[in-house]
Structure 1
Amino acid sequence: MKDNSSLNERIARHVRELRAAKGISLDALSTQCGVSRSMLSLIERAETSPTAVVLDKLAAGLGVPLASLFDAPPDAVEPVARRADQAIWQDPHSGYQRRNVTPSGVDTPTRIVEVVFPPQARVTYEAGARSPQVLQQIWMLEGQMDVTYGARMYRLGAGDCLAIPLDQPNSFHNPGDLAARYAVVLTTIGS
């Protein structure tokens, strides 16, 4: 796995650039996304490895897909993403790993992420509706996952695919004793 410090630098740069482009202060972003000003400041200085939940809130508040926070600098954009160069990030809370498969920085409404989710791990994303709207498809490759979308829970096994909009809180839980592996395809609609 690659060192998270370089990914934290990427995240910091993207957050600073997006906030500047939108002309909003740290206080305004904090209110908008529900993340404390002090945490946002640490993230913008790459002095912390934020959890998946914090990054999801931040991406929703900035109006961008979570996967875009891991993009390489624009001068490094290539139309192919070699596996060895794909950004891998590990959530410090749950231990799940996400690999951005889509070539970094390519202007596309669709992003592909590969996730390896540890046994018995759980992550809950509290963010609701997003602007622009995002459709998430979860394609199970190995293992099983319980995905809760609003009040409904779906148990997914290898080969299953669940398509849900990111318009309400959702959670992921691996009830098994083995790691689960799945692909997430995110499509931004009307951006």
Structure 2
Amino acid sequence: MGNGDTFELRLVQRLAALREERGWPLEELAQASGISRATLSRLERGETSPTAQLLGKLCAVYGMPMSRLIAEVEVQPAQLIRAAQQNEWQDPDTGFVRRMVSPPAKGFSTELIEGRLPAGAVIDYPLPPVRGLEQHIWMLSGVLNYTLDGVEHRLQKGDCLRFHLFGPTRFHCPGPHGAHYLIAICAP
């Protein structure tokens, strides 16, 4: 595991706990998620870092947004979240960086996430974590090709795409520069 080892360790421990809470053996989770049993085992032992795609598949099986999973391993967030307190996670496969600007918290139905996707990177999410999840993507810089329900939307600086999430999605940054955006997620 890389930077933020303590956070990543808490994250993989929470993933193991979610499986155990449901009484699922690794084989059952592997079948439900499409992730090999060996990969799941290495992940739960902390031998490999979770990727965005892997987390997306697991969150879909558990019926929770990735940000909610991440919030469950954070300490209770305060009203004022200073930049230095905003947890950041980097996908080891794509270089995608996700910063929890305003993480999920009790009593709040919206969260705010900053995303940075390097030029050329692609992330596919085959299933939504929660059907009907309301999202708003606001582009800060670069270009993002976002595929929703089989339709590709080209987002550029200042554009905002809002939708309810029901099917597979794809994030693709065609370059030449990285894509920088904010996502607001609202519980359905």
Structure 1 Cα separation of the partners of residues 134 and 65 of structure 2: 10
Q: CA RMSD in A?
A: 2.1
Cα displacement string for residues 80-130 of structure 1 (whole angstroms, at most 9, x for unaligned residues)? 322112111111111111111124654543222100111222212222x55
Change (3 A) 1:187 1:15: same
SS in 2 for 1:42: helix
Aligned match of 2:147: 148
> Which amino acid in the other structure matches residue 120 of structure 2?
Q
Change (3 A) 1:17 1:107: farther
SS in 2 for 1:15: helix
Answer yes or no: is the 8 Å Cα contact 2:103–2:113 preserved in 1. no
Aligned match of 1:100: 100
* Identity level (%): 34
Aligned match of 2:113: 113
> Which amino acid in the other structure matches residue 170 of structure 2?
S
Count of residue correspondences = 186
Aligned match of 1:78: 77
Aligned match of 1:124: 124
Residue 138 of structure 1 pairs with residue 137 of structure 2: yes
Q: 1:1-191 residue pairs with structure 2 within 5 A?
A: 3-71=3-71, 73=73, 76-79=75-78, 80-103=80-103, 106=106, 108-127=108-127, 129-131=128-130, 133-189=132-188
Structure 2 Cα separation of the partners of residues 182 and 168 of structure 1: 21
Answer yes or no: is the 8 Å Cα contact 1:5–1:46 preserved in 2. no
Structure 1 Cα separation of the partners of residues 23 and 85 of structure 2: 32
TM superposition score normalised by structure 1: 0.86
TM superposition score normalised by structure 2: 0.87
**Which runs of 5 or more residues in structure 1 are unaligned?**
none
Cα displacement string for residues 27-60 of structure 1 (whole angstroms, at most 9, x for unaligned residues)? 2222222211221222222221121111100111
Cα displacement string for residues 57-89 of structure 1 (whole angstroms, at most 9, x for unaligned residues)? 011111111112323646x21323221121111
SS in 2 for 1:78: coil
TM-superposed deviation, 1:178? 1.4
Structure 1 Cα separation of the partners of residues 18 and 58 of structure 2: 11
